[in-house]
Amino acid sequence: MQHVSAVREPLITGGKTYHDVTEDISRQVEAAPNIRWMAAFAVALVFLGIFFYSVYRTLWFGIGEWGLNKTVDWAWDITNFVWWVGIGHAGTLISAVLLLFRQKWRSSINRAAEAMTIFAVICAAQFPILHMGRPWMAFWVFPLQNTYGSLWGNFNSPLLWDVFAISTYFSVSLVFWYTGLVPDFATIRDRATGKISKIAYSLLSFNWKGSAKHWSRYETVSLILAGISTPLVLSVHTIVSMDFATSIVPGWHTTIFPPYFVAGAIFSGFAMVLTLMLITRVTFKLEDYITLEHIALMNKIMMVTGSVVGVAYITEFFIAWYSQVEFEQYAFINRATGPYWWAYAAMMTCNVITPQLVWFRRVRYSLVLTFILSIIVNIGMWFERFVIIVTSLHRDYLPSSWAMFSPTIIDIGVYVGTLGLFFTLFLLFAKFFPVINMAEVKTILKYTVDNGPTYNPNAGHAAPATAAPATVNTPGVPASAPVNYDKHD
Amino acid sequence: MKYWKGIEELEQTPDFMSSAFAEFMPVKEKHETTDESVAPRRDFLKLMGFGVAAATLASCEKPVRKAIPYLVKPEEVDPSIPNFYASTYFNGADYNAVLVKTREGRPIKLEGNPESPITRGGLSARAQAAVLSLYDGGRLEHFAINKKQVTATELDKQVRARLAATTGTIALITPTIISPSTRRAIFEFAARYPRLEHVMYDAQSATGLLQANGGVLPSYDFSKANVIVSLNADFLGTWISPVEYAKQYVKNRKVCTDKRTMSKHYQFETAMTLTGSNADVRVPVKPSEIGAVATALYGAIVGGATSPMSENATLKAAAALLQANKGAGLVVSGSNDPAVQTLVAAINAALGNVGTTVDLTAPSYVRQGDDVRMAKLVTDMAAGQVGAVIFYHANPVYNHPMGKQVAAALQKVKLTISLNDRLDETGNLCEFAAPDHHWLESWNDFEPKKGFLSLSQPAISPIFSTRQAQETLLRWSGNNTSYYNFLRTNFQRMTGGGQTAWDQAVHDGVAIGSDNQAALTMLGGAMSAADAVSRINSTPKPSGVEVALYEKVGIGIAGCESNNPFLQELPDPISKATWGNYVAVPRKMAVEKEWSQGDVLKVTGNGYSIELPVLVQPGQTNDTVSIALGYGRVLAGKVGDKVGENAAPLAMANTVGIQYQGVVTLTKTGASSPIAQTQTHQTLMDRKPVVQENTLANYRTNPKEVTEYEKVVTPDGLEKPSKVSLWQDYQYNNHHWGMAIDLNSCIGCGSCVIGCQAENNVAVVGKQQVINRREMHWIRIDRYYSSDHHKTEFDEKGKVATYKAMEDPSDNPQVIFQPMMCQQCNHAPCETVCPVLATTHSSEGLNQMTYNRCIGTRYCANNCPYKVRRFNWFSYYSNDKFEVVNGHMFTDLGRMVLNPDVTVRARGVMEKCSFCVQRIQLGKLEAKKQKRRPVDGEITTACAQSCPTDAIVFGDMRDPASEIHKLLKREDGERAFHSLDSINVQPNVTYLTKIRNSDAKFFAEEHTA
């Protein structure tokens, strides 16, 4: 018997050459911003304005501007925090874990996913600071020696662990992201014509020369950072979950939280990556780089993690019943049937039921349905955190203190404001930074001289990508669609 | 060989030599300008240095403002050391003997005076809050004629001239006056102006009771009563002398292993009152049925009368029990109908209670108002027969049901004078205003009960240009003695004592002696029991919805407390509502009429209508509603204006007196107005670990089985929760502070809430913030209603449906109160989660809050199972939104009330009960100075100090001689329990299981295994 391995399908369609890649990606950076980008950026700036106004109100008058009360002392603030941190996780997973597992398909999405991580963590970091009564004293959470003796932080407090977890996560992600950007910055620097852009990208590229030594170091650093980041994928949300799990609030005091939160984070992260990628793909015409295969793969990860989360939800109920603890049981009954049942229903529908649609191939490969699904998951995961935080707190031990929470306009403003912050940063990134890792994508091109009449020397720099690949492959057609491959490849 | 560096050195010119060995070259002055206005170049660094230093210094916060040292220090005032002065609080409603705590000459807190044989150290919430009224910015600051400021001399001149020229009656309208010297001053005034008619009326009238007892208000002794039957009398909350009665009442309610008996308390009432919520058996009746209840009771005990209530089983049981306890029972009624009171008096007489629980020989004087006389005066005024009227602490335009007529009649009076402390609804209509001192600025004497005297003394020099009203009256009568001398002469006459007796009385605040006031002559009302029965039976039954007008524990009917934000924000003990009144409706009516909480109703009665929101009140009698009086003022001051609506005109002012009831029609307006409640969930959800209670019957058989102690499962079987712990226990080598709260004694009055607020500078947050569930009280009283549904229904109905059903209170529920403050856990969940160690454990068992270190993450509050932590959502002392309600932290006048020993918390920090750590420190220091250990009882918290029923015991649990040590030792395994024991936070607050002398169950019957 002879086993013939299946021919691997190309990860980048359209029969791109190295030069095509450079052209396709750099063009976005070099060309003047298009009208769609301008419109999107204007909207993002409006939301950023809402953010600044809401933050001003919060800082000037106090947390009382929010809807919190004596019973529910955290609500939208920490919901948003956990939501944003969770979103960040997909970036790390894609860049680090998939790198270690040699999942080459990650190359075309890792840059944007990592950028998303950074910006999501920036947005997330707003909340632990803003939610403090006295944010100007926020530096006290660091174990700084003070003049009165050895008054340090409280190392028993999960909030202190959070500080370390988030700051480590942010710095490692930032370094990882930036390392990957250096060769691409050098490419843009080399192509730059304007004086300012030349200087700017020179500075950003750290004098990258593309020498073998540089590449060797680049690969090593990437691998080391991937190694460091991989435990972070698990640890960050584990620690975030301990903010709840170490407490004694029924509904929070749960040992399942660490894996449950990590799965939820990856789940929501992939949903956000999908949302962003689908938009980027359309806006910047990157159909050949972000193929339907990518989307299908991400959909699968989303479905798996969504199902893990679903199992966790059910386990919580089982444990509440099994424990025979009255307060615990009531917390879960109240979660599903109490005054906030609608939040619970929204969470269940969005996170557990709708992702199961991904079993259908049509859904997996449909741009529109995937986009809708990713939004639904984002909403569902926001509700998950809301359900955990608010429905647990609003009815805990003493019925005398039971209360309802309703958000104020400022609560909403801070939340949609961080969306504005996120998209402002992301749009700036998409305009001024290469959105796809050119250097790495080039390593996965399936390209031979025989096969690829792609580079049209007559086309010049004006529009090479659109003219050439069209003859071979239609953008957006699934990579799995029949393609003529050269057999001696 | 000599080297030289230049020709100059070689030649050694004198010019060179002069500077050759100097370290610096001399300044060449010629470079400098002669213009003195220009700074020299070489001074640049100097000037810049100064400039930077000056700018830096200027940008620093100024350290202290207006700290003025004493030029000549008063001998008795030491900065930072409080002085206590005995005084008396009486504002026309309840009498309290107080100790005034002053700091640097400012009264900052009132505490109960333990020397008083009447209130015995207890203090009502209103009295606690009264210190804030001293610094009330709404007071009138000077004498005025037609609201224009004048001097006292000018006003005196004009008033005396006008009084002398008056034809017709001169009316002096006051609330009850229990001050013998004030009465004497009025006599002097009457001697000068013989046409004076002194009319007393009480906003909370007891005319009916006085009429039925021949002008005498009996003294009651609830402590001697084994059976108490109350007909609409809220004697623990508002009726006549609640602090005194509460003290007596709990004496017979406290139980311990050696005393397993309790009084049996029946309450027949319309609205759910504080008293009703403490009763063993509570029967909801309509206001119009109280007569029938009295008749039936009279019939059952004395005989010869029947009424529709005669067949009521509860009533029969009550009557039987009363008869079985002759001489040890007590029937009281809050009704103002002389017929009802006549029957009540007859019942007490027939049972032989007179002389034991009812004392007619040492009558109480705190109610002397005669509604009939007042009504007649209003008629006279309207008829133009009154030439002059003087209001002294009386505001009938607002608080009398005939307020509108009074206002109209005032137009007919030529001379109108107000001695009220502010331009209130009545004072505003008067020509002359001669505002009285606040009582904390005045000398005065009181005789609340025959033979018992009480003094008040100035604890601060007058804040405004006011004059004591008694002195004003003396001036106008041509007597120029000061009221102090007048009072002393009078005091000597009453007690027969000299200087020593006086000094002792001023020190103690109380004395024995009497003015021997004669019984009042009431206009009408006296009748025989038979007449009373026939009158009650012939009264037609009102048709339609009956309204009961009641008084709140915090805000009195007279409205004196309206401008006091402490009291406005004091949660009603039953409904937990603050800031305003509402229509309390029974659930059945709300369901039938499709009203839900907060729907605004138009209430119409007596041709007058008001709009108020609905509050669904369990225990409210069917087909009746209740509305609190004392709200809806318009000229009380910034705080009290337009809070709620004035329901006084809905009361019936008939020929025998004011009846606080009536018939109203209710229509839904479609608007809605939220009610600011501090507790919105009403039932306990059968959570026995939170609070426990049991029946007297069980307690009698086995005191060891009345409390359920939770066990946790361990590998070694069921164990006490404290056996399993991840924590290392703290070692307490010196003190270990603890508190025990007897749920049998706690009546839920809320006095501790205000005591704590005044002691600890707790902010008032206003109606909207209470609606947002952000009140700041460090101690609250949780109130749970019983439900008709219990966990026992899990099997048949399922958990979800049962839990839903358990949220609804019963229609006539049992009530349990649980004071809740920081439990000072030994394994405190809040301490672990603070990232910056702002909340830590002390070596004396206290859970300490370091405000300066707090960054406000609020995790501690989330993790607190008792939800007692309070967050400063706003800057309550500087945010304009709180200027009105939290005035005592805003203005210089208001800030005088703040306790300098307690920090005013900044925005963004967490706060909570500290076990009054400042009082603990003070006590320890005092003991240390005297080289001894603190003695039990000398250190106590503000809540324990003010508790009228001694439900709260505070002390050092490690001190074997302490009361708390003994109490906990005695009650261990019997009634002592910790709330939420199973989560093993190990609180330092211990509760004692409530024992009820009734058959009704709060919790479902246990399944017997």
B21, pLDDT greater than 80: no
Chain B residues 638-657 with a CB less than 8 Å from chain A: none
Decide: B864 and B829 in contact? Cβ < 8 Å.
Answer: yes
DSSP B39: P
Q: Strand pairing partners for B95? A: B90
Residue B594 Ramachandran class (φ > 0 left, ψ -120 to 50 alpha, else beta)? left
Question: How many angstroms separate the CA atoms of A466 and B187, rounded?
Answer: 110
| pLDDT recorded at residue A401 | 93
Q: Which residues in chain B are contacts of A395 at CB distance < 8 A?
A: 681
Q: How far away is chain A from the Cα of B133, in angstroms, using its nearest Cα? A: 28
Amino acid B76 reads E
pLDDT in tens, A359-401: 999 998 999 999 999 999 999 999 999 999 999 999 999 999 9
Q: Is the dihedral of CA A266, A268, A271, A275 positive or negative?
A: negative
Strands B444-449 and B452-456: antiparallel
Average pLDDT over residues B711-740: 88
CB pairs under 8 A between A and B: 174
| pLDDT recorded at residue B824 | 94
B32, pLDDT greater than 60: no
The position carrying tokens 């300044």 is B27
Residue B559 Ramachandran class (φ > 0 left, ψ -120 to 50 alpha, else beta)? left
Question: How many angstroms separate the CA atoms of B727 and B877, rounded?
Answer: 39
Cβ separation of A133 and B853 shorter than 8 Å?
Answer: no
| pLDDT recorded at residue A1 | 63
Average pLDDT over residues B871-879: 93
| pLDDT recorded at residue A483 | 46
Average pLDDT over residues A451-459: 45
In this predicted structure, which of A473-477, B740-744, B976-980 has the lowest mean pLDDT? A473-477
Cβ separation of B859 and A159 shorter than 8 Å?
Answer: yes
Amino acid B296 reads A
Closest partner residue to A74 (CB to CB) among B683, B774, B862 is B862
Average pLDDT over residues B260-279: 93
A482, pLDDT greater than 70: no
| pLDDT recorded at residue A469 | 41
Decide: B446 and B179 in contact? Cβ < 8 Å.
Answer: yes
| pLDDT recorded at residue B67 | 65
Residue A155 Ramachandran class (φ > 0 left, ψ -120 to 50 alpha, else beta)? alpha
Residue of A nearest to B839 (CA): A154
Q: How far away is chain B from the Cα of A271, in angstroms, using its nearest Cα? A: 30
pLDDT in tens, B632-684: 999 999 999 999 999 999 988 777 788 898 899 999 999 999 999 999 999 99
| pLDDT recorded at residue B821 | 95
The position carrying tokens 């306990």 is B684
Cβ separation of A401 and B834 shorter than 8 Å?
Answer: no
Q: Which residues in chain A are contacts of B674 at CB distance < 8 A?
A: none
Q: How far away is chain A from the Cα of B851, in angstroms, using its nearest Cα? A: 11
The position carrying tokens 């956990």 is A82
Substitution target from B863, B909, B913 for chain A, most A beta carbons within 10 A: B863
Residue of A nearest to B804 (CA): A338
Chain B residues 798-827 with a CB less than 8 Å from chain A: 799-800, 803-804, 818, 820
A436 SS3 class: coil
Cβ separation of B773 and A70 shorter than 8 Å?
Answer: yes
Question: How many angstroms separate the CA atoms of B989 and B976, rounded?
Answer: 10
Cβ separation of A131 and B867 shorter than 8 Å?
Answer: no
B543, pLDDT greater than 70: yes
Q: How open is the CA angle B397-B677-B788, to the nearest 5 degrees?
A: 115
In this predicted structure, which of A172-181, A446-455, B307-316 has the lowest mean pLDDT? A446-455
Containing B149, the helix (H) or strand (E) segment is strand B148-149
pLDDT in tens, B182-235: 999 999 999 999 999 999 999 888 999 998 888 889 999 999 999 999 999 999
Cβ separation of A134 and B775 shorter than 8 Å?
Answer: no
| pLDDT recorded at residue A473 | 46
pLDDT in tens, A276-294: 889 888 887 888 888 888 8
Instruction: Please tell me if residue B851 touches chain A, with a CB cutoff of 8 Å.
Output: no
In this predicted structure, which of A2-16, B270-284, B302-316, B801-815 has the lowest mean pLDDT? A2-16
Q: Average pLDDT, whole number, for chain B?
A: 90
Q: Which residues in chain A are contacts of B861 at CB distance < 8 A?
A: 70, 73
| pLDDT recorded at residue B69 | 73
The residue with greater pLDDT, B71 or B963, is B963
In this predicted structure, which of A221-230, A454-463, B302-311, B554-563 has the lowest mean pLDDT? A454-463
| pLDDT recorded at residue B61 | 60
Question: How many angstroms separate the CA atoms of A269 and A95, rounded?
Answer: 13
Cβ separation of B685 and A141 shorter than 8 Å?
Answer: no
The position carrying tokens 């009220």 is B420
Substitution target from A146, A400, A405, A411 for chain B, most B beta carbons within 10 A: A400
Average pLDDT over residues B462-490: 91
A463, pLDDT greater than 60: no
Q: How far away is chain A from the Cα of B704, in angstroms, using its nearest Cα? A: 24
Cβ separation of B820 and A68 shorter than 8 Å?
Answer: no
Q: How far away is chain A from the Cα of B800, in angstroms, using its nearest Cα? A: 7
Residue of B nearest to A321 (CA): B799
B1001, pLDDT greater than 60: yes
Q: Which residues in chain A are contacts of B799 at CB distance < 8 A?
A: 329, 333
Instruction: Transcribe B802-846 into DSSP letters.
Output: HHHHHTSBPSS--EEEEEE-----TT-HHHHH-TT--EEE-TTS-
Q: pLDDT band for position A147 (50/70/90)?
A: low
Substitution target from B677, B712, B773 for chain A, most A beta carbons within 10 A: B773
pLDDT in tens, B246-259: 999 999 999 988 88
Closest partner residue to A73 (CB to CB) among B687, B837, B858 is B858
B98 SS3 class: strand
Cβ separation of B690 and A64 shorter than 8 Å?
Answer: no
Q: Which residues in chain A are contacts of B780 at CB distance < 8 A?
A: 400
Cβ separation of A398 and B871 shorter than 8 Å?
Answer: no
> Would you say the ipTM is above 0.85?
yes
Question: How many angstroms separate the CA atoms of B253 and B696, rounded?
Answer: 11
Q: pLDDT band for position A212 (50/70/90)?
A: very high
Closest partner residue to B835 (CB to CB) among A67, A141, A246 is A141
Cβ separation of A69 and B773 shorter than 8 Å?
Answer: yes
| pLDDT recorded at residue B1006 | 62
Q: How far away is chain A from the Cα of B582, in angstroms, using its nearest Cα? A: 21
pLDDT in tens, A150-164: 677 888 999 999 999
Substitution target from B765, B782, B833, B854 for chain A, most A beta carbons within 10 A: B833
Average pLDDT over residues B537-553: 90
| pLDDT recorded at residue A479 | 45
Closest partner residue to B855 (CB to CB) among A67, A71, A133 is A133
pLDDT in tens, A409-441: 999 999 999 999 999 999 999 889 998 888 888
Cβ separation of A133 and B866 shorter than 8 Å?
Answer: no
Q: How far away is chain B from the Cα of A76, in angstroms, using its nearest Cα? A: 14
Residue of B nearest to A323 (CA): B713
Structure tokens at B594: 């499709």
Cβ separation of B834 and A243 shorter than 8 Å?
Answer: no
Residue of A nearest to B784 (CA): A400
In this predicted structure, which of B34-38, B282-286, B546-550 has the lowest mean pLDDT? B34-38
Task: Phi first, then psi: give them for residue B84, nearest 5 degrees.
Answer: -115, 135
Q: pLDDT band for position A459 (50/70/90)?
A: very low
Q: How far away is chain A from the Cα of B979, in angstroms, using its nearest Cα? A: 10
| pLDDT recorded at residue A458 | 46
In this prediction the pTM is 0.88
